[in-house]
Amino acid sequence: MPVTFALSPSGRILVTAVDQKPKSTTDLRRLRNIAAENRVSVLADDYDEDWTRLWWVRLDGTAAVATTDTERAEAIAWLTAKYPQYRDNAPRGPVIRVEIRTVTGWAYTG
C-alpha cells in the first residue's frame, strides 16, 4: 500500500502516520498486521519510461506503533518537514515507527 514516509536524521528510523484522508474504516489492516507480526519491509521505487533511470530500495526492519508523546511528536516533525501539505494539517492518527535493520536496492548502471 502506498504511504507517505520520512526518515530520521540518522536514516535508521522510518516513520509513517495515519492522516485525515477518508478511510473506509479506522480498524486498519496495517496496524493489525504490525500487532500480529512486527517484521516489515518498505519498498520505494521509481519507474521511468527511460529504463536507465529505474531504481528501487527495500528497507527491512521492525515496526511498532508509537506509544509516547515524544516518539509521536518527533515523527510528526519529520513528516511535516518533508511534506508541506502536513504543515497546516498534521496527521492525527497512529504513527508507525520502523527500526531499519537492512537496506537493499538496485539502480540501473548500464
pLDDT in tens, 11-33: 999 999 987 766 666 678 899 99
**CA proximity to 30, closest of 107, 94, 75:** 94
**Ordered strands of the 39-46 beta sheet:** 6-7, 13-17, 95-107, 55-65, 39-46
H helices of the chain, in order, are 29-36, 69-82
The predicted pLDDT at position 2 comes to 84
41 CB-side CA count, 13 A:
8
Name the one residue in this structure whose C-alpha cell is 474504516.
Answer: 25
Which of the residues in the chain have pLDDT under 50?
none
